[in-house]
A and B are shown apart, each in its own frame.
Chain A
Amino acid sequence: MTPDPDLIHASPETAITEGEYVRGTSLWRDAWRRLLKNKLAVFGLVVVTLITLSSLIGPTVIKRATGYTPDYIPTSDTRLIRSFPPFTGPDGQFSWTHPMGTDNAGRDQLARVLQGGQISLFVGIISTLVSLLIGVSYGAIAGYVGGRVDNIMMRVVDVLYSLPYVIVVIVLLSMFRSQTARGQLILLFIALGSVSWLTMARIVRGQVLSLKNQEFVMAAKATGVSTPRIIFRHLVPNTLGPVIVYATLTVPQIMLTEAFLSFLGFGVQAPLASWGSLASDGIQNIAIFPWQLIFPGVTMALTLFSLNFLGDGLRDALDPQMRTT
């Protein structure tokens, strides 16, 4: 690799003679610059931002532009087949109204895909936060306390690792199927979050183990800082780099699991829709209305693709030693 010109700082003499303050490069600033150099990661960042923004404001914009909301069913149209291909109006002519076509009931597919994106991203982010909360606390406590406690806590993680957890999640979701869409969503957060914290706990524990014998921890102990405070104020912030990287890679994983569960009918319930449940609806009509599956499916694949590239890029940027290229 060629030396980074930005990393070569101004010589101290010029700094002194000009009386300027030379700003050091922080870890984050450095990582950000490395990230921007990675074309695929920047592509990922841009696409993720675009998809997030359009999911957030898209449905409102569509409503303003065409009058279609995600659940608006044109009841005036009494024909049996109301699913039109992309860019086609009810009369079979070219039209801008439905760029992604319509679903069986005649609802605008674009509005539905964007609203599905809201749910998919929301589930991905919230469940990742749940798994962060559990994983970081669990790993930090196990790592810092150490000894027998650590041994037992990590054994539990080992046992949970070897369980076919998706199978258990399906049993959980199908047995406690909630009557309301919101209830099912909360159940989904708990189910997804509570199974995806294991790797996070291992990563944080490893970090804490290597940090806990350093001077700053000893200094904190010597000045009488309480154990919980040492763990959460002194150790956890220092594990942030790997935690952020892993969290970025957890989001697409959870979104994929959510889609998988919704596809099987155990996830998000109507009237809410996610990319997984839209694809599940679409697959029924794959032979005649392929766009009903292709649009939610491809949008989702593009999002996961970008999130994965972004996560990989972040890992390379925050932890240059991990780099394999």
Chain B
Amino acid sequence: MLRFILRRLLVTIPTILVVITITWGLIKLAPGNFYSGEKRLPPAIEKAIRDKYGLDRPWYEQYGKMLWSIVRHGDFGTSLKYEGQSVNGIIRRSLPVSAAVGILAYLLALIVGITAGSIAALKQNSRWDYGSMTLAMLGISLPNFVLGPILVLIFSLSLYWLPPSRWGGFPSRNLILPVITLSAIYMAYIARLARAGMLEVLRSDYIRTARAKGLSEKDVVIKHALRGGLMPVISYTGPALAFLLTGTVVVERIFALPGLGNYFIQASLNRDEPLLIGIVAFIAITLLLMNLLVDIAYAYLDPRVRY
């Protein structure tokens, strides 16, 4: 197990370097510059800017300097757009916003998805089954940028129950709509996965044995079937996190939340190189570590998996 974790960590490092290099390369290869706007700058000012950021240095020197500062000090530099603010500071400030929305959304999706999927599997081909699976398909097909505004329209602008946007701290009523919007699609995926997994497990021999030895249906389902039936849901956690990160980008924009996703979009629109690289690298690291955690959890839950 330890060897497996170490080996995975060793693969993680080059992957993160690849992500940083691709992002850096794309920014450098693209035509134009972060300071070039509608108006051409006076040559003296342009030269001062190029000197300040070392833009006239050879590419390998710029690349090396950037990488060194990240690897050596964990320092992504200073934002070009938000003057005087360090990238690390921006990430530290915006992370709690994204994390609050993301984690709550994932928990909500797990609870609702597993419940709906299990009920659908237990009552296969019933009205419950068809109803929840059609709803799940709707959840997969309804883009979150359509669902979010429709929810705002109903619950904020017509019924005046919930605030339509902005960050209100944690916990607050402002979180309800963004969390529902973000979780809808995962709810749907998890419900489908849970249903498929449960259907397979419910037909297996050990469930028959459990029933045969006279366990109550409740015990059979909760103690025996759920554990095996939810394996597909757990292995979906990795991809779900990747989706969740991109989903927060949209949700944060719809609800004007000052999270990582919003800063990411701003950074790509502004060509804010240090901020962009910082956020992309941070997202990549989070994603890879989460995937590793999922794999470890998987090995613990399913005794057949061995590394």
Verify that A and B bind, or say they do not.
Answer: yes
> Nearest chain B CB to A68's CB is how many angstroms away?
24
Whether B146 contacts A163 by the Cβ 8 Å rule is no
Q: Answer yes or no: A86 CB below 8 A from chain B CBs.
A: no
Q: Answer yes or no: B206 CB below 8 A from chain A CBs.
A: no
Chain A: CB-nearest residue to B286: A164
Partner of B19, one of A163, A298, A325: A163
Q: Answer yes or no: A305 CB below 8 A from chain B CBs.
A: yes
Whether A159 contacts B18 by the Cβ 8 Å rule is yes
The distance in angstroms between the C-alpha atoms of A228 and B203, with both chains bound, is 44
Tell me which residues across on chain B come within 8 A of A312, comparing CB atoms. 137
Q: Answer yes or no: B186 CB below 8 A from chain A CBs.
A: no
Whether B246 contacts A300 by the Cβ 8 Å rule is no
Chain B: CB-nearest residue to A264: B265
Q: Which of B1-60 contact A (CB under 8 A)?
A: 11, 14-15, 18-19, 22-23, 26-27, 29-31
Chain B: CB-nearest residue to A252: B141
Tell me which residues across on chain B come within 8 A of A263, comparing CB atoms. 143, 145, 250
Known contacts A168-B280, A171-B268; is-contact A301 B23 (Cβ 8 Å): no
Tell me which residues across on chain A come within 8 A of B228, comparing CB atoms. none
Tell me which residues across on chain B come within 8 A of A168, comparing CB atoms. 19, 22-23, 26, 280
Partner of A170, one of B124, B145, B253, B268: B268
Partner of A279, one of B143, B199, B200, B253: B143
Tell me which residues across on chain B come within 8 A of A163, comparing CB atoms. 15, 18-19, 284
Whether A305 contacts B137 by the Cβ 8 Å rule is yes
Chain A: CB-nearest residue to B279: A167
> Nearest chain B CB to A232's CB is how many angstroms away?
30
Chain A: CB-nearest residue to B270: A174
Partner of B246, one of A166, A266, A286: A166
Tell me which residues across on chain A come within 8 A of B101, comparing CB atoms. none
Known contacts A164-B246, A279-B143, A305-B141; is-contact A176 B253 (Cβ 8 Å): no
> Nearest chain A CB to B183's CB is how many angstroms away?
16
Whether A260 contacts B141 by the Cβ 8 Å rule is no
Chain A: CB-nearest residue to B24: A171
Chain A: CB-nearest residue to B164: A287
Q: Answer yes or no: B210 CB below 8 A from chain A CBs.
A: no
Q: Answer yes or no: B138 CB below 8 A from chain A CBs.
A: yes
Chain A: CB-nearest residue to B152: A286
Chain A at the B interface: SS class: helix
The distance in angstroms between the C-alpha atoms of A289 and B2, with both chains bound, is 58
Whether B143 contacts A264 by the Cβ 8 Å rule is no
Known contacts A259-B145, A264-B250; is-contact A167 B264 (Cβ 8 Å): yes
Q: Answer yes or no: A297 CB below 8 A from chain B CBs.
A: yes
The distance in angstroms between the C-alpha atoms of A259 and B276, with both chains bound, is 22
Tell me which residues across on chain A come within 8 A of B19, comparing CB atoms. 163-164, 168
- Taking residues whose C-beta sits less than 8 angstroms from the other chain, chain B's interface range is 35 or more
Whether A162 contacts B140 by the Cβ 8 Å rule is no
Whether A162 contacts B15 by the Cβ 8 Å rule is yes
Whether A301 contacts B141 by the Cβ 8 Å rule is yes
Known contacts A167-B245, A167-B280, A263-B250; is-contact A309 B137 (Cβ 8 Å): yes
Interface string of A257-290 (1 = CB under 8 A from B): 0011001111000000000100110110011001
Whether A164 contacts B283 by the Cβ 8 Å rule is yes
Q: Answer yes or no: B242 CB below 8 A from chain A CBs.
A: yes
Whether A308 contacts B287 by the Cβ 8 Å rule is no
Whether A280 contacts B283 by the Cβ 8 Å rule is no
Tell me which residues across on chain A come within 8 A of B222, comparing CB atoms. none
> Nearest chain B CB to A112's CB is how many angstroms away?
16
Q: Answer yes or no: B249 CB below 8 A from chain A CBs.
A: yes
Q: Answer yes or no: B100 CB below 8 A from chain A CBs.
A: no
Q: Answer yes or no: B305 CB below 8 A from chain A CBs.
A: no
Whether A308 contacts B140 by the Cβ 8 Å rule is yes
Whether B143 contacts A300 by the Cβ 8 Å rule is yes
The distance in angstroms between the C-alpha atoms of A4 and B201, with both chains bound, is 28
Interface string of A200-222 (1 = CB under 8 A from B): 00000000000000000000000
Whether B15 contacts A171 by the Cβ 8 Å rule is no
The distance in angstroms between the C-alpha atoms of A312 and B140, with both chains bound, is 13
The distance in angstroms between the C-alpha atoms of A280 and B284, with both chains bound, is 27
The distance in angstroms between the C-alpha atoms of A171 and B254, with both chains bound, is 20
> Nearest chain A CB to B36's CB is how many angstroms away?
13
Q: Answer yes or no: A175 CB below 8 A from chain B CBs.
A: yes
> Nearest chain B CB to A151's CB is how many angstroms away?
14
Tell me which residues across on chain A come within 8 A of B246, comparing CB atoms. 164, 166-167, 260
Partner of A167, one of B27, B31, B283: B283
Chain B: CB-nearest residue to A175: B30
Whether B141 contacts A308 by the Cβ 8 Å rule is yes
Q: Answer yes or no: A225 CB below 8 A from chain B CBs.
A: no
Chain A: CB-nearest residue to B287: A164
Q: Which of A185-206 contact B (CB under 8 A)?
A: none
Whether A174 contacts B269 by the Cβ 8 Å rule is yes
Q: Answer yes or no: B216 CB below 8 A from chain A CBs.
A: no
The distance in angstroms between the C-alpha atoms of A279 and B149, with both chains bound, is 10
The distance in angstroms between the C-alpha atoms of A214 and B183, with both chains bound, is 46
Could you write out 27 A-B pairs with CB less than 8 Å apart? A159-B11, A159-B15, A162-B288, A162-B291, A163-B19, A164-B245, A164-B246, A164-B283, A166-B242, A168-B23, A168-B280, A171-B22, A171-B27, A174-B269, A174-B271, A175-B30, A256-B143, A263-B143, A283-B254, A287-B153, A293-B149, A294-B150, A301-B143, A304-B140, A304-B141, A305-B137, A324-B196
Closest 10 CB pairs of A and B: A297-B146, A175-B30, A304-B141, A305-B141, A174-B268, A166-B246, A301-B142, A263-B145, A286-B149, A324-B196
Residues of A at the B interface (CB closer than 8 Å) are 40, 159, 162-164, 166-168, 170-172, 174-176, 252, 256, 259-260, 263-266, 276, 279-280, 282-283, 286-287, 290, 293-294, 297-298, 300-302, 304-305, 308-309, 312, 324-325
